[in-house]
Amino acid sequence: MAQLSTAFDITRTILPTLPFRLGRAIRQYGWSYAFVLPMLALVGLFVVYPLIASIHITLYDWNGIGKPTRFVGLRHFATVARDPLFWNAFKNTFLYAAVLVPIQLTLALALALVMNQPRLLGSTFYRAIYFSPVVTSAALVGVVFSLLIGSVGQDVNTMLTEQGLLSRPIDLLGDPRFALPVVIAVGIWHTLGYNLVYFLAALQSIPRDLYEAAEVDGAGALGRFIHVTIPMLREVGLIILFLAILGSLQVFDLVLVMTGGGPYYASEVVSTYIYHFAFTPASIQAESNIGYASAAAFFMGVLVIGLTAGQLLAVRLIRQRNSGR
């Protein structure tokens, strides 16, 4: 009874002042809400609504024309879970991320350390050079590298075969052993600029006084890197790591343009697997099945949400550790 009386008193105190508080918030932050509203409308229209609609579509057999009417329940999820091609694409996606992310982050950090040197001449030029591939379309990069590998690779194969170093020519994009590694190499080159800029910005935020104090204490270049740079980059570096992982798990353009997921599904990733079932079913099934493709996308979405939650938890733990709590 006492708790009910307390709740009533709180409600009686807050409710009369609620319109006044809302009016004051609107007057104080009205323009902020006005500027944010178009973005929220676009997110709701192009992100939230399609997400809810795709979950609904997973329950139907639907070829994308008209309204879905053939209800199948959770059958698509069971089919995806049993499909070896899906798990092959799942494995290739993780393999792509597991190889690309460590190599790319290591190269980006090393280059950022070099470009962060105050005595380096032309650092702005080097930044532009390394970042220029990022602003280029991944599809265009895939087309150009496919042509280069096709022409230059043929000449290299001919030279190595004539020298007796190869028994037969190697088709880098047509051989199941080399297709995915080649795509990974191109992916490392294409998105290296993102992480380079992130690391460079993080390095420039470290106070120079820390390096000077470490140098006075007798720390060399390696000691300053281990005891100053790495601790100061820990929180930002974790965010860069998760962004790189999430970005690599969504690879699509390069694989589709360079190999199409082949040969023999050797470079198939989850994104191209979904694309093939939704839009190009001739090589897999008789007709498009948007419902099945949405079910496969749901699996990947759950993974991405899990990784995002892990990122938030890890950043929170690191902040608590740094603050001594």
Tokens linked to 279: 């839009």
| Cα–Cα distance for residue pair 17/15, rounded to 1 Å | 5
Q: Residue 71, SS3?
A: strand
Tell me: the pLDDT tens digits for 85-116?
A: 999 999 999 999 999 999 999 999 999 988 88
pLDDT digits (tens, 9 = 90+) for 36-82: 888 889 988 988 888 888 888 888 888 778 787 788 888 888 888 88
Residue-wise pLDDT tens digits, 177-225? 889 999 999 999 999 988 999 999 888 888 888 887 888 777 787 888 8
pLDDT, the chain, mean = 81
Residue pLDDT, tens place only, 116-129: 887 878 778 888 88
Report pLDDT for 159: 72
Summarize the confidence of residues 120-141 as an average pLDDT: 86
Q: How far apart are CA 179 and CA 172, in angstroms?
A: 6
- Which of 256, 252, 283, 62 lies closest to 173, judged by CA? 256
Can you tell me the distance from the alpha carbon of 64 to that of 304, in angstroms, rounded to the nearest whole number? 25
Domains and CATH numbers, the chain: 2-57 (no CATH), 72-323 (1.10.3720.10)
The pTM assigned to this predicted structure is: 0.81
The predicted model gives 149-159 an average pLDDT of 72
CA-closest candidate to residue 100, choices 281, 232, 250, 266: 250
